Amino acid sequence: MKAIQIPRSPDNDYTQQAAAERRQFIEQQSGASLHHVGQYSFDPGSLPGNIENFTGIVQMPLGFAGPVRVNGEHAQGDFFVPMATTEGTLVASYSRGMKLTREAGGITTTVVDDAMQRSPVYVFENARQARDFAHWLLTRFSDIKAAAETTTSVGKLRNIEQYPASKMIYLRFNYTTGDAAGQNMCGKATYAACQWINAHYKGPISRYFLSGNMDTDKKHSQLNTLHSRGKRVIAEITLPRTLLQERMRTTPEAMYAARMASQLGGLMAGAVHNGVHPANGIASVFIATGQDEANVAESHASLVYAEITPEGDYYYSVTLPSLIVATYGGGTGLATQRECLETMDCYGAGKAHKLAEIIAATVLCGEISLGAAVVSEEWVSSHDELGRNRP
Chain centroid offset of residue 358 CA:
13
**Is the per-residue pLDDT at 387 higher than 70?**
no
For the question of residue 113 being annotated catalytic, the response is no
Q: Which of 148, 111, 74 is closest to 228 using CA atoms?
A: 111
Catalytic: which of 13, 87, 339, 378? Answer: 87
**Is position 383 annotated as part of the catalytic site?**
yes
Out of 292, 307, 339, 378, the active site residue is 292
Q: For the range 14-23, what are the long-range contacts, defined as Cβ-Cβ under 8 Å and sequence gap of 24 or more?
A: 14/44, 14/45, 14/46, 14/47, 14/48, 14/54, 15/44, 15/45, 16/44, 18/44, 18/54, 19/44, 19/54, 19/55, 19/56, 22/53, 22/54, 22/55, 23/55, 23/56
CATH level 3 topology of 120-209: Alpha-Beta Plaits (3.30.70)
pTM over 0.75: yes
35 labelled catalytic: no
- Per-residue pLDDT of 40-71, as tens digits, reads 998 999 999 999 999 999 999 999 999 999 99
CATH 3.90.770.10 residue ranges in the chain? 64-113+230-386
Helix ranges, the chain (H): 16-30, 90-103, 127-139, 141-148, 183-200, 222-227, 241-248, 252-269, 278-289, 296-299, 335-343, 352-375, 379-386
pLDDT at residue 384 above 60?
Answer: no
Indicate if the pLDDT at residue 383 is higher than 50.
Answer: no
Tell me how far apart the alpha carbons of residues 308 and 315 are, in angstroms, rounded to a whole number.
6
Q: Which of 149, 227, 345, 383 is catalytic?
A: 383
CATH class of 64-113+230-386: alpha beta
Residue 137, SS3?
A: helix
pLDDT reported for residue 376? 78
Geometric angle at alpha carbon 363, from 359 and 367, rounded to 5°: 170
Residues of the chain with CATH 3.30.70.420: 120-209
pLDDT of res. 378 = 65
Q: What is the pLDDT of residue 3?
A: 78
Give 389's pLDDT tier (boundaries 50, 70, 90).
Answer: low
**How does strand 156-165 pair with strand 207-209?**
unpaired
Tell me: the pLDDT tens digits for 1-26? Answer: 677 899 999 889 999 999 999 999 99
Give yes or no for a contact between 306 and 315, defined as CB atoms under 8 angstroms apart: yes
